[in-house]
Structure 1
């Protein structure tokens, strides 16, 4: 009988897996122990060779799930690299939200957003800052120089990923009938030179508009709301877009139901907060959450970014005009300073171009490079979904 790499034990929350090169026999009354075996673990997901399957089989007596199944059959992987990719993406997705069964439900950032019910037009009824300068001069997501920006490349990558997934058959049979998971290679393109300013302003607008719509709440008081706005302002300052930040926050008090006006630049300029935690402070619109399959009204920018790097097929449903949220999240995570130089205005654009290029290189490296068949992609739950195992179907 032919063989493949089968998972013996898997803990997606910890990013740990034990696998062995064998036939699909884990559900049999007796198993062969002396076969090639490997161990994979976060954070680097390197492959370590083991002397046998003993450790993996023993792990199933604890918190590890035994094997990986689809339609009642054990799934094997043709290559160890494909197995590593599956474990890595499962781990990243699980880290994007509350995944422990029975755990308390995480609060919605700054309370539920006033949105339309399910089934209505995408984005209908959402409050936006329509009087901002760039909204009167065309779509801010369109590059004025005609180049392909980061959001365009991200949309193109997602389309290519879904196409590669649909062209992949998880029932790739060997000559002896062992079903093995195969994957199709897919990579995002390199970022060409283009002015990223409109795209960045769009991402800032999207996040601040949602913060404005929700405002402080009993579960997230004024101080927390101020901090969420403050952290966006810090990134604006580092990007040389503090004037844009001023324009946006100056309008907060002009809307009758808005929270207290938040004016000026952030009071503190420093790295006292974790940037990844910042993403969890920024809610996304309910329509965005529904499109991607994230829990409403608890979804955040963090969940959106985690979905991009763990389950791209889910993000494909996001309209292109919302892609700047994901790119701005990647920009926010990058370590860079502000263009505090003489003649700052002329240097700011080059500074932003460099930062967005670095951010895209980082995001491009995090995006999955291997697309599984749709049935296998569906085994990877979205961030925030409470499941005790990846799959036992």
Structure 2
């Protein structure tokens, strides 16, 4: 095997073999994942059948309770869940426009599914590289049926509003006659910055989608929560989109393990991310954003080509069993590369001095051009 897939497997093997990991988590084998899933299995639970019963129903009830929602529906992907939520908003309001940020997930990462599959069109809030304001929503030039808010706004740097700013934006959307949907793929870790528990966020809006693998460490899947009317609509359209698969118990079991083991740790990851970001900001030529981070993820820049940084990360991992930061990519500024740092369980073992030492060991492997 050669090419990108071989490179990816080499990086995963190197990361798995590391004793020290700053960003991300050590990959698990399939056997390890199965053991974790088996440990999360409720007693005497039968497999689900086409989305009904079994551990899938257990996960739906668990997440509905955690988010304070009336009902929850499991989907194989978040993209599909969001198409259903946006379609529902359009049908209820009679408006085929969706207001959303230019950096939001449906516009950047879903191949225009909202338009191609659902027949909707986008009304973009200003591209200011930050969360939209209430004034910007109020001043949008045309009507819209749904206001989509991504919490956090990942492609702007995992940015979140303050609680008061969020309430004002939601109120502005409602004043325009729109429903409000939250892309909450990473909502679980957003509650620290917002200063409110997840049910309070859910109660503020009409619908929320949460991921079962981002942050929770599951294998796949998403859950859409809202009222009973939305849930019934979601099950019908999930079937039409081909998402009512025969059995989804593996995704549901992995999600249960994540809810039991990762969800309680997320506030600690967010707190430690502040120390990590503050320390990395002292590296020569480095920049972090936001400072401090709003979640346990943030952006990190270094003044070197991405290839040189990726080679250095791999060499450090293979030769010293230490993982710094990977998946660097070049920016529009020549010689400046960007990576996303994810502070998870392994990073909790590292204090500021250890992080500084790891950064220096990493940079010594970057060739000076």
TM-score by length of 1: 0.27
More helix by share: 2
Larger Cα-atom Rg: 1
TM-score by length of 2: 0.29
